Structure 1
Amino acid sequence: MAGKPKKTATVRSDVRAFPEVVMGNDGKLKVTVASDDMIPALLGMKSQDAAKVVFCSALEALGAGVESAGGMASAMFAELEPVDAVEAMLVAQMTATHMAMTAAAGRMTHQTDVRFRESSEKAMVRLSRLFTYQMDALKKYRRKAQQVVRVERVTVNEGGQAIVGDVVKADGG
C-alpha cells in the first residue's frame, strides 16, 4: 500500500474542507468535523440528517477497507463537489465502485489459480463498466437535461412557414 501523502503548510483557496476519517484505538471509526454544517455543505445537501446518512453509507460501502480508505471516501466528496442529494449519492456509489474495482485488481494480481484470477478479472471488468456508467450518469445529471434539436435542412418557399419540433394533430393522432 502506498504511503500517505505529506501535508504541507500552504492552504489553497480552491480546496474544499472535508472531515478527517480515522480508525480509533477502540476499533470504531471516528469522523472529525470542523462544524455541524460541514458534512451537508460538503455533500451539497440541505438536510443535516440526510447528509450524514449518505456520508455514513459511503463509508459503510467500503466494508473492511474503511480503515485504510475512509479518508479517501471523504475527500472524493470534496473533489467531485456534489451540489445536491442525487449528486452526493452518485459520488458515494462511484467511490465504493472504484474501491471494489481496485480491490479486485489487487486480488487478481496475487492469484496463481487461473480460476480465481479469471473471477477477479471479470469482477474488475464489470466494476469498471459500472464506474463508467456512473460517471456518465453524473455528467448527464449535471447537464440538467439540455435538449438539442439539430435541423439538417429546411426549405421554405416564398409565403410558406416551417415548424421545427414535434407536430401533433389536433385530434391527438
Structure 2
Amino acid sequence: MTKIAKTAATRREVPTIFKDEENKLQVTVTDDDMIKNLFGMKTRAAANGVLITGLGSLGGRGDAYYGMLTNMAIEMEPKDAVEAMLITQMTATNAALSYALQQMVDSPQLKRVEAFDRIANKLARTFTIQVEALKKYRAKAQQIVRVERVDVHEGGQAIVGDVTHQAGGGQNEK
C-alpha cells in the first residue's frame, strides 16, 4: 500500500472554534495564515471576515455547525474570496434548511408544519441557486459559444472553424 504525502501547499487545516464560559466565540489557530489558507484568500483580514460572518450566519444555536463551516472549505477547496463567501453562505443555508425541516417534521401543529414547509422550500431553492452560482463562477474561463444557425446571403462568406483576432488590428488567423 502506497502512502501519498500531502504537501503544505495542498493541506488545509481548520481552526478550533468554540464558545467560552461567557458564551463568547473563540477561534484558535495554529498559525497566523491558517484561515487565509483555508479559504484560499490573499489577506488575513478578508479571510477572518468571511469566517466571522459565516459563523454569525449560523445563529446563536449554530455551535453544531462550526466544524461543518470550516470543513466545507476543505471539501470544496475555494480558490478565492468569492468562492469562500459562496461556500460559507451555502453552509449556512444548508444548516437553516436542516433546522426548518426538523421543525416541520417534529411539529404537531399543521400551521407550523405549513410555515416550515414554505421556509424549507425557499431555502432549498436558495441552496440550488448558490450551487449553480459557484459552478458558473468556477467555469468562467471555460465559456463556449455555439452557433445553431448561420444564414449566408448571396455574395456573403462564412468561415467555419476557430477565429481569433491579433492585437493591433492584425489579420484573422485560423
TM range (shorter): 0.7 to 0.9
Q: How does 1:154-173 map to 2 (within 5 A)?
A: 161-163=157-159
How far has the Cα of 1:154 moved from its partner?
5.8
Is structure 2 residue 55 aligned with structure 1 residue 59? Answer: yes
2:140 counterpart SS class: coil
Q: Which runs of 5+ in 2 are unaligned?
A: 163-174
Contact map agreement 1:101 1:127 (CA 8 A) in 2: yes
How far has the Cα of 1:149 moved from its partner?
2.3
The residue that corresponds to 1:119 in the other structure is 115
CA RMSD of aligned residues (A): 2.5
The residue that corresponds to 1:35 in the other structure is 31
Is structure 2 residue 76 aligned with structure 1 residue 80? Answer: yes
Measure the CA separation in 1 of the matches of 2:158 and 2:139.
29
Q: 2:125 aligns with which of 112, 124, 129?
A: 129
How many residues are paired up?
154
Q: 1:12 to 1:126 in 2, by over 3 A?
A: farther
Q: Does 1 or 2 have the higher relative contact order (CA < 8 Å, sep 6+)?
A: 1
Q: 1:155 to 1:127 in 2, by over 3 A?
A: closer
1:63 counterpart SS class: coil
Q: Which runs of 5+ in 1 are unaligned?
A: 1-10, 166-173
- Structure 1 outlier segments of 4+, above 4 Å: 152-156
Q: 2:44 aligns with which of 48, 70, 75?
A: 48
Measure the CA separation in 1 of the matches of 2:146 and 2:41.
36
Q: 1:46 to 1:15 in 2, by over 3 A?
A: closer
Q: What TM-score, normalized by structure 2, do the two folds share?
A: 0.78
| Percentage of pairs with the same residue | 46
After superposition, what is the alpha-carbon deviation per residue over 1:117-164, rounded to whole angstroms, capped at 9, x for unaligned?
0000110010001000000000000001533222446688xx963157
Measure the CA separation in 2 of the matches of 1:92 and 1:82.
10
Q: 1:106 aligns with which of 81, 89, 102?
A: 102
